[in-house]
Amino acid sequence: MSELKDCPLQFHDFKSVDHLKVCPRYTAVLARSEDDGIGIEELDTLQLELETLLSSASRRLRVLEAETQILTDWQDKKGDRRFLKLGRDHELGAPPKHGKPKKQKLEGKAGHGPGPGPGRPKSKNLQPKIQEYEFTDDPIDVPRIPKNDAPNRFWASVEPYCADITSEEVRTLEELLKPPEDEAEHYKIPPLGKHYSQRWAQEDLLEEQKDGARAAAVADKKKGLMGPLTELDTKDVDALLKKSEAQHEQPEDGCPFGALTQRLLQALVENKPFSVPHTKSLESRIKEELIAQGLLESEDRPAEDSEDEVLAELRKRQAELKALSAHNRTKKHDLLRLAKEEVSRQELRQRVRMADNEVMDAFRKIMAARQKKRTPTKKEKDQAWKTLKERESILKLLDG
């Protein structure tokens, strides 16, 4: 129960127009029987009076509508289920002869009346929410239907694989086939540089020289006797080292011949009285002769290979590179060939499509002719046959 002051209603005074006072002509006409009827001259006054009545009636209607709306809203706010139901019954039971605005209003009310009606939850709180929900759902719902674009995304991702080959792509392939300029470089075997032991020995010697030179320079600065020592340069050092090496290479005392020469001489000659000039070159010449005869195998490579791991590795890698490049090249050739074939097939397919269109046109013409209930002309028939045959020939080319 709420207080009167809470009530939003206005308690209008719904008195109807007192026609006896306000509409005398109207009253007079009412009093007459049908035989007497209405005079033409009374029309104007009647019109005015009727307008007055109508205006008051429609004003009353508007006010009533406003008040009922207030009443409904008020009741809904309170969430009083019982009376919503009762109210609904009242509305639906109202007499059927309703004008348009009334009907719309009813439908509006019935719309959110049965909403909370069926499937009514037990708690009061849910009711206004449900009503709100129904109001706001409809305008938002329609544009919110999500577009299913999964197939679009799928086709977009597959597209690069199925697209036609363009001439640009063929050109790119051809360019790829050109052998790279730096290939030769990869196969070079750089010459053996100085062995590191030699290099380091050289460097050490140089260092000592410098130190000695500095010491001597400090000692003999005034005398200026640095000359011979400081002028020693790498060339001389090399010569010195080579001499010492050469000496090392000949462990045997006094025997000037190389190993092979010695063995040969031992085999062929009993005593070694003579000395032969150019022993070194003799040794190498004998070696060469023996190799040429096939008696001695060339010892170079295995010896070198077994000792030089870096070289071995380098050679291995170069072989791999060669094999791989050859493989790639063949593949690129194949790809180019296939691409060119596909391009020609694409052109054929394009022609098939155009032929399809022509066939469809001819078909449509014949159908139109048939609709108009006349037989198609010879020209149309010929054209249809021609387009069909064209299409077939192109298809044959394609499949062949």
Partner 1 sequence: MALVSADSRIAELLTELHQLIKQTQEERSRSEHNLVNIQKTHERMQTENKISPYYRTKLRGLYTTAKADAEAECNILRKALDKIAEIKSLLEERRIAAKIAGLYNDSEPPRKTMRRGVLMTLLQQSAMTLPLWIGKPGDKPPPLCGAIPASGDYVARPGDKVAARVKAVDGDEQWILAEVVSYSHATNKRHTLSRRRVIPLPQWKANPETDPEALFQKEQLVLALYPQTTCFYRALIHAPPQRPQDDYSVLFEDTSYADGYSPPLNVAQRYVVACKEPKKK
Q: Tell me which residues touch partner 1 (CB under 8 A).
A: 1-4, 6-7, 9, 11, 13-16, 19, 26, 29-30, 32, 34, 37-38, 40, 43-44, 46-48, 50-55, 57-62, 64-65, 67-68, 71-72, 74-75, 80, 82-83, 86-87, 90-91, 94-95, 97-102
The pair of structure tokens assigned to 281 is 């070159």
Least distance from partner 1 to the Cβ atom of residue 384, Å: 53
91 vs 390, beta carbon nearer partner 1: 91
The pair of structure tokens assigned to 308 is 């030089």
Asked if 25 contacts 45 with a C-beta cutoff of 8 angstroms, the reply is yes
Residue type, 269: V
CA–CA distance, 131 with 137 (Å, rounded to integer): 10
65 vs 392, beta carbon nearer partner 1: 65
56 vs 202, beta carbon nearer partner 1: 56
State the DSSP H helix or E strand holding residue 157, giving kind and residue range, or none if neither.
Answer: helix 150-162
The pair of structure tokens assigned to 93 is 């039971």
Least distance from partner 1 to the Cβ atom of residue 12, Å: 8
Query: How many angstroms from the chain centroid is the CA of residue 346?
Result: 25
114 vs 212, beta carbon nearer partner 1: 114
36 vs 356, beta carbon nearer partner 1: 36
- Burial track 64-94 (b if 16+ CB lie within 10 A, e otherwise): eeebeeeebeeebeebeeeebeebbeeeeee
Asked if 358 contacts 385 with a C-beta cutoff of 8 angstroms, the reply is no
Least distance from partner 1 to the Cβ atom of residue 124, Å: 14
CA–CA distance, 329 with 186 (Å, rounded to integer): 17
Rounded to 5°, angle at Cα 193 from 188 and 195: 140
> Closest Cα partner for 176 from 336, 60, 301, 48?
336
> Closest Cα partner for 53 from 86, 26, 90, 31?
26
> Residue 13: left if φ>0, alpha if ψ -120 to 50, beta else—which one?
beta
Least distance from partner 1 to the Cβ atom of residue 152, Å: 45
Least distance from partner 1 to the Cβ atom of residue 36, Å: 9
The pair of structure tokens assigned to 234 is 């790498």
CA–CA distance, 236 with 230 (Å, rounded to integer): 12
111 vs 212, beta carbon nearer partner 1: 111
74 vs 388, beta carbon nearer partner 1: 74
76 vs 283, beta carbon nearer partner 1: 76
